[in-house]
Amino acid sequence: MNEEEVTEQLKRDFPEGIFDFAFPRKGMLRFSADRDRLKDVCTRLKDIGFKQISLISALDWREHFECVYHITSYSFGIVAEVHTEIPLDDPKVDSVTPVWPGANFHEREAYDMMGIVFEGHPDLRRILLPDDFTFYPLRKNFREGE
């Protein structure tokens, strides 16, 4: 499968909930998914052949958070970049650790740095910062030295 075929497949499986498809360069597929459809989309992606999760980045856009999942398929040579918007007042999203065990540390890091709670994560603790920290340093409203 190439990028277009993956896109069509996904569009067939999820008539709504995923949007904004784009192909930034060869071997890369970018789209957005709704927060509540994310886990289903990820499960489907894994079934198609996206076996490895490369990276989970959490972004703070001031109006909302965003989680970006980079999911790799070695057999197709494609990276799928899935964007998910998360509201500021309810920073929760379904964990994809049950789908890919490799997401474990990435989600812990995102929780550690940005305070996004991954529901269904087996062991959501701080990973890089000490356990007794009360703040999330990568949020834009975090002021150093206070």
- Write out the residues near another protein by the rule CB under 8 A: 24-25, 27-28, 51-55, 57, 59-60, 68, 70, 74, 77, 79, 81, 100-106, 109, 113, 126-130, 137-138, 144
Nearer to another protein, 87 or 137 (CB): 137
Q: Minimum distance between the CB of residue 8 and another protein, rounded to whole angstroms?
A: 23
By beta-carbon proximity to another protein, the closer residue of 36 and 101 is 101
As beta bridge partners, residue 33 has 18, 84
Residues 129 and 104: their CA atoms lie apart, in Å, by 16
| 69 Cβ contact list (under 8 Å, min separation 6) | 42, 53, 55, 56, 80, 81, 82, 84, 96
Q: Using the minimum distance from each CB to another protein, give the nearer residue, 10 or 78.
A: 78
